[in-house]
Homo-oligomer: A and B are copies of this chain.
């Protein structure tokens, strides 16, 4: 049963083809997937775009260059643990890193809303600079546009990134195979719940802080320990659920997840309970999920846990040859449910 024909348990919104863009088209749920796969990719169809990995390798002369783009519309633009500037650098650095590329150069394009205090732009720029320095990338080209009040929202940022491939590394969702272990580099849901709690004015004991971080360092540590990782993804919009459902569906493999094995911070779990959310559906900005052949599992876990960004790394499940196209979650109380994307998810503008 494919994810397209499987009844959704998460979402009671009746399906209606409105013919217009809905907020849900941007939330990493089913509508996002449909917009990309049914409207955008066919219109532009070409073999490189169709891989739908987070980055693409293009031939330039004798070199292969990793190339990616991401726009950031997070609201509010400043939040616990980061801001839109840091997110824009880390997000694109991570999209490059997920392909095993070494991030090198970024472009930076702003769409500013009239009335934005220049001091806020300066704060974002300082944050871009710090994040770029931390990630070892250089902002080499840029653009700035301004739109009138009510035609934008403070700051939108686009970063595109260039990177160089690591020798001997070939990661792509197409390499995922039954038997692969599914490893996450740390706790899930931190970024999304930090944003949501801030928006809703929720004050909780403990930390609700975005995990935004550049992942190229931990990726390098993993690949040094075990170069034959099949694929990596950073589970951003739609959380790890979106990543897993997409991979199961596109690669026609089964996925089995052990719910109890998923690392979630106490504060994040508490906030999820209050809002009725599952941490698997909540965005991360500093975590990766790796698909690793079984012989590499121990080495990759060790490498993750030895890195400051991977202390809470865990194996959360496995790729299977049965129930291809479907992600099954074994729940904490011993049941089993099929994971499906919500039609239109409840967390717009999370990144």
For A125, list chain B residues within 8 Å (CB): 39-40, 43-44
A112 close to B25 (CB less than 8 A) = yes
A142 close to B69 (CB less than 8 A) = yes
Residues of A145-179 at the interface with B, using a CB-CB cut-off of 8 Å, are: 145-148, 150-153, 156, 158, 160, 162, 164
**Contact of A144 with B by CB under 8 A:** yes
**Contact of A21 with B by CB under 8 A:** yes
For A200, list chain B residues within 8 Å (CB): none
Q: How far is the CA of A229 from the CA of B142 in the complex (A)?
A: 24
For A132, list chain B residues within 8 Å (CB): 44
Stretch binding the partner chain, chosen from A8-16, A102-110, A188-196, A289-297: A102-110
**Contact of A1 with B by CB under 8 A:** no
Q: Per-residue 0/1 for A324-351: is the Cβ within 8 Å of any B Cβ (1 yes, 0 no)?
A: 0000000000000000000000001100
**Contact of A32 with B by CB under 8 A:** yes
Stretch binding the partner chain, chosen from A133-141, A220-228, A248-256, A268-276: A133-141
B141 close to A55 (CB less than 8 A) = yes
Q: With A139-B44, A153-B147, A160-B69 known to touch, is A118 a contact of B20 (CB < 8 Å)?
A: yes
A112 close to B26 (CB less than 8 A) = yes
Stretch binding the partner chain, chosen from A59-67, A300-308, A313-321: A59-67
Q: With A49-B141, A109-B69, A142-B40 known to touch, is A115 a contact of B63 (CB < 8 Å)?
A: no
B147 close to A26 (CB less than 8 A) = yes
Q: With A44-B139, A62-B61, A153-B147 known to touch, is A68 a contact of B107 (CB < 8 Å)?
A: yes
For A162, list chain B residues within 8 Å (CB): 58, 60, 65, 67, 162
Q: How far is the CA of A164 from the CA of B58 in the complex (A)?
A: 12
For A140, list chain B residues within 8 Å (CB): 46, 48-49, 56, 58, 67
Q: A201 CB to closest chain B CB, in angstroms?
A: 19
A62 close to B62 (CB less than 8 A) = yes
B111 close to A156 (CB less than 8 A) = yes
**Contact of A23 with B by CB under 8 A:** yes
Q: How far is the CA of A125 from the CA of B132 in the complex (A)?
A: 32
Q: With A139-B46, A140-B46 known to touch, is A19 a contact of B114 (CB < 8 Å)?
A: no
**Contact of A35 with B by CB under 8 A:** yes
B46 close to A107 (CB less than 8 A) = no
Q: A1 CB to closest chain B CB, in angstroms?
A: 27
Q: Pull 9 A–B residue pairs with CB atoms less than 8 Å apart, ordered by A.
A: A56-B140, A60-B162, A60-B164, A67-B105, A75-B151, A111-B111, A147-B156, A152-B156, A158-B158
- A interface list, Cβ under 8 A from B: 19-27, 32, 35-36, 39-40, 43-44, 46, 48-49, 55-56, 58, 60-63, 65, 67-73, 75, 104-105, 107-119, 121-122, 125-126, 128-129, 132, 138-148, 150-153, 156, 158, 160, 162, 164, 348-349
Apart from A70-B143, A152-B153, 15 more pairs, CB < 8 Å: A21-B112, A25-B146, A26-B147, A35-B118, A36-B144, A43-B128, A43-B129, A44-B108, A44-B129, A49-B140, A55-B141, A67-B105, A69-B158, A73-B151, A158-B158
What 6 pairs between A and B have smallest CB-CB spacing? A26-B146, A160-B160, A69-B107, A43-B125, A151-B153, A158-B158
